[in-house]
Amino acid sequence: MKRKQIITLLTISLLAVGTGEFIRQRLAKRDLSRDVSITLDNALWKQNKENLIYQDLTLDLICTNSQCEAEIWGFSPTFNRAEHDGIVDLIKKDNSWELKVKININSDPWIRGGEAEYLIELQPHQKDKEQIVGSYSGTFNKEVVNGKVTGSIAPYSSRKIPNYKSISPREHPRLIFRQNQLPKLREKAKTPTGKAILAKLENSLQQKIYYKGYVPNGGYHAAGHCFLSLLNDDPQAAEIAWQIVEKSLNNPGPRLLEHSPIVAGVTLAYDLCYDAWGEKRVKKITDWLGQQIKILIAGTRGKGWNPYAWSNWSGRARGAAGLAALAILSEPEEYFSEPTDVTRLLKISERYIKRYLNTAVGDRSFGTEGDLYTIQPWILVLLPFFQAYENVVGPNLVTDSSVEWFLSHYVMRIVGEKGEISFPSYGRHRRGDVKRLFSLGWKSVPEKFLPGVMWFFNRHFAWEGDRSFAIKQPHEAAFILEAYPENLIDTSNENFLKSLLNFNFLKSLKPKNPAKVFERVLVDKEKGFYLFRNQWKDKDDFVASIYLKQQLLRASWSFPEAGSFRIWGLGGRWASAGPDNNQREDENVVLLGDMAARGAAQPKFFQGEVDGSGVVSISMDDVFQDNGFESLRSFAVDYSGISGIPALFVVVDKLTRDTPEKIWVMHTQEQVVVKDNGFILKADSGATMRGIFVAPGEVKIEVEETYRGRKILARGGENFFVVMTVQNGIVPNFEISGSGLDAQVRVGKRMILFRENKIILKK
């Protein structure tokens, strides 16, 4: 997903509208027969008082079988946040390629664009066949520009799925499922599973409709009625849906944040009720969606818009724009009140969505804006978009991308049983509507992960769980009925295996405990998130994590969480998130007086074990920015049982120079008793956590109440060496020899040391 796929340019003219053919120029060199991305140094400029400030421009084109498509796209984040489109003519020379590029530099709400033309000379890199180099000259807004060119050639990012059949003109439904799937869905709705899902749909339709608020859901309710209308051939349900849609259109969101789910919900209803509403209504919504796509792509000025690629605002708006474009693709031109190039709008939306994925979530789907603001775009627009894109256009945008990990990421983090689930969260509001991911996200899960996700889903949300099928909003019933295998009730029942063998999406798969599917340690290398889990069983499972905030992205929800950790297990929330006041003291960290601490940590050492144990050491130097201060945190998790108890945790903070008072902070949701240079935490489950400060030797501990539980504050030394055990029953003995960070601690048969900037666990 790191490269960009090019969609057909509709005409040779830069700004024209139409349905022309690709213009292809044959390339003899095989090196350009893939996705190509080149960066032109100083190709654009801005006026800054009396000077011109130059910016780079990256251009993306695609070649197939030694032919390059005429359409070219560009992006220049230092210039503005818009996507730029144009045409390219390629001429092969003896030892190089010459590209003639004419590109429209589009405006964003703050920076005006213009027109640019470039003549680019490219050559293969002498040593690296995946790299290309060259130079260019040209003009932008009539000013001469020139400079060097560097670029890369990557494998194709996405291609048509096998046996894909193009949509027919005005074919609907097409987003959640194709028209030819409807007969099978009607049969599936009569099965026990189908009846249970439809019962949840009927129940969700009785809930209150919110036409205003952060997440207006009128469109999603309308889509639920439209789904029933399709299944039951019920015109009355379609009429109810239309009335809800009209109210939704009359209550647009005050900002694009709130308007996006309105557009997404109306889009799904439009697709499902297309044949039932009649041409006049369909024409009205087609035109309305076309207008909304343009608005969502363009963005707005002022406080009501965040243009940065990794912002949840962009994820919501561009995801809704892309979903709407898929719904109205190939609709009659006379349905639009003004010229609307839907293919171009879809391509722009797709590029924005890919850029969101490549920046907002890491390689294992940890979100840089925290769980709430990461999950919301996915459940409101993105998961429906990915499913619809494959149905309508053909290419699969999920394979080999971070999308594959999104559902599995939360399977790794969630604890609970029978629908009563939660997870140790990061970011604002300390929560996320994670349950809904499991009604919408099945098609994003790769086959290798499906057995674990199926086991988890069935145990929590299907027949072995709360039987909600993870449905909260009405439209989700259509997604889960389409994806969920029939008769997945009892894994010992022979009908279970028969149903799977006959189910095309999950063919020959059966549920497996996630421990047999996933590794028990999850590492998001891009964002710096480390998760350690012992098992998948029930609410007593252990889940521990530490977040480095390794990839610092400004202009978004970026909390001072670098180096903060979470520990849950045996029913206790031992180390949890504090209040969401966006303060460093709300995290499980070390405070250094009033030093600013909004920077990023970097990994220094990592080792994971097959049982879910592991050690992470991180440099905290850049967390305390502009203070010239060096610090290191090491975090260890031990599920081996060698210590004689279920889990042992160690945190070491090494601080290299004198500072104002140092305070070690840990938030907990459990009761706290201060005792013997440490503390005892008691959970309602009966389990306890015993924490001992090996360093400092004499620690002063205070406990403060917060609206999320309690906050432990420890003072008294330069460095901190804390050992914590979690158990049901007798607390083990701690044998400590030595002092400070050179001490050795024995718990059962486990020896704990801190050497060479990392925690060492010896038997």
> What average pLDDT does the segment 60-84 reach?
88
pLDDT of residue 171: 97
Report which of 185, 265, 263, 264 is spatially closest to residue 229, judged by C-alpha positions.
185
| Strand, coil or helix: 295 | helix
Given a cut of 90, is residue 103 above it in pLDDT? yes
Q: Which pLDDT does position 161 carry in this prediction?
A: 74
Question: Above 80 in pLDDT, residue 639?
Answer: yes
**Which has the closest alpha carbon to 587: 554, 619, 627, 558?**
558
Q: How far, in whole angstroms, is CA 65 from its chain's centroid? A: 33
| Amino acid type, 723 | V
How does pLDDT run across 668-717, given as a tens digit for each residue? 999 999 999 999 999 999 999 999 999 999 999 999 999 999 999 999 98
Dihedral (C-alpha) 598, 599, 605, 610: value to the nearest 10 degrees?
50
The set of residues, in sequence order, having a beta carbon less than 8 Å from that of 205 and lying 6+ positions away, is: 221, 224, 225, 474
Contacts of 604 (CB under 8 A, 6+ apart): 617, 618, 619, 632, 757, 758
Q: Return the percentage of the chain with pLDDT > 70, whole number.
A: 91
**Fold designation for 520-762:** Beta-galactosidase; Chain A, domain 5 (2.70.98)
Please indicate whether residue 94 or residue 475 has the higher confidence score (pLDDT). 475
Given a contact cutoff of 8 angstroms between Cβ atoms, the answer to whether 609 and 647 are in contact is no
Q: Which residues contact 378 (CB under 8 A, 6 or more apart)?
A: 315, 406, 437, 440, 441
Q: Which amino acid is at 453?
A: V
Record the pTM.
0.91
**Residue 151 forms beta bridges with which residues?**
38, 132
pLDDT digits (tens, 9 = 90+) for 265-317: 999 999 999 999 999 999 999 999 999 999 999 999 987 899 999 999 999 99
Instruction: Give the mean pLDDT of 90-95.
Output: 76
Can you tell me the distance from the alpha carbon of 532 to that of 519, in angstroms, rounded to the nearest whole number? 9
CB contact at 8 A, 451 and 511 = yes
- What is the distance between the alpha carbons of residues 521 and 31, in angstroms, rounded to a whole number? 38
Average pLDDT, integer, range 459-478? 96
Q: Which residues touch 513 (CB under 8 Å, ≥6 apart)?
A: 452, 455, 536
Contact predicate 469/480, CB 8 Å: yes
Count how many Cα atoms sit within 13 Å of the Cα of residue 460 in the half-sphere of its side chain: 28
Percent of the chain with pLDDT over 90: 80
Give the pLDDT score at 158: 63
The region, left, alpha or beta by phi > 0 then psi within -120 to 50, assigned to residue 507 is beta
Q: Which of 642, 582, 581, 578 is nearest to 611 (CA)?
A: 642
CB atoms within 10 A of CB 374: 24
CB atoms within 10 A of CB 42: 17
Does 439 have pLDDT greater than 60? yes
236 CB neighbour count, 10 Å cutoff: 12
Q: Given this model, what pLDDT does residue 12 score?
A: 27
Q: Give the highest mean pLDDT range of 12-16, 189-193, 490-494.
A: 189-193
> For 556-566, b where at least 16 C-beta lie within 10 A, e where not — what string?
bbbbbbbbbbb
Q: How far apart are CA 525 and CA 603, in angstroms?
A: 9
Cα angle value 448/452/458 (rounded, 5°): 135
DSSP 660-698: SPEEEEEEESSEEEE-SSEEEEE-TTS-EEEEEEEESSS
pLDDT, average across residues 32-49: 90
Mean pLDDT, the chain, whole residue set: 90
- How is the chain split into domains, by residue range? 25-154, 520-762
Asked if residue 555 has pLDDT above 60, the reply is yes
Tokens of 508: 């020959």
- Judged on CB neighbours under 10 Å (0-12, 13-18, 19+), 289 is buried
- pLDDT greater at residue 466 or residue 5: 466
**Quick one: average pLDDT of 230-248?**
98
Nearest to 268 by CA among 185, 324, 204, 211: 324
pLDDT tens for 402-420 read: 999 999 999 999 999 898 9
| Phi, psi angles (nearest 5°) of residue 181 | -90, -10
Which of helix, strand or coil describes residue 279? Answer: helix
Average pLDDT over residues 39-61: 94
Angle CA 421–372–416, to nearest 5 = 10
Q: What is the mean pLDDT of residues 2-10?
A: 32
Q: Is the pLDDT of residue 660 over 60?
A: yes
- Which CA distances in Å does 589 have to 103, 232, 300, 623, 711? 49, 57, 38, 11, 11
Neighbours of 621 (CB within 10 A): 18
Those residues whose C-beta lies under 8 Å from the C-beta of residue 18, and which sit 6 or more positions away, are 10, 11
**pLDDT tier at 66 (50, 70, 90 boundaries)?**
low
275 contacts 282 by C-beta, under 8 angstroms:
no
Residue 556, φ and ψ in degrees, nearest 5: -155, 180
What is the tens place of the pLDDT at every residue in 314-368?
A: 999 999 999 999 999 999 999 999 999 999 999 999 999 999 999 999 999 999 9
- The answer to whether residues 438 and 479 touch, using CB atoms and an 8 Å cutoff, is no
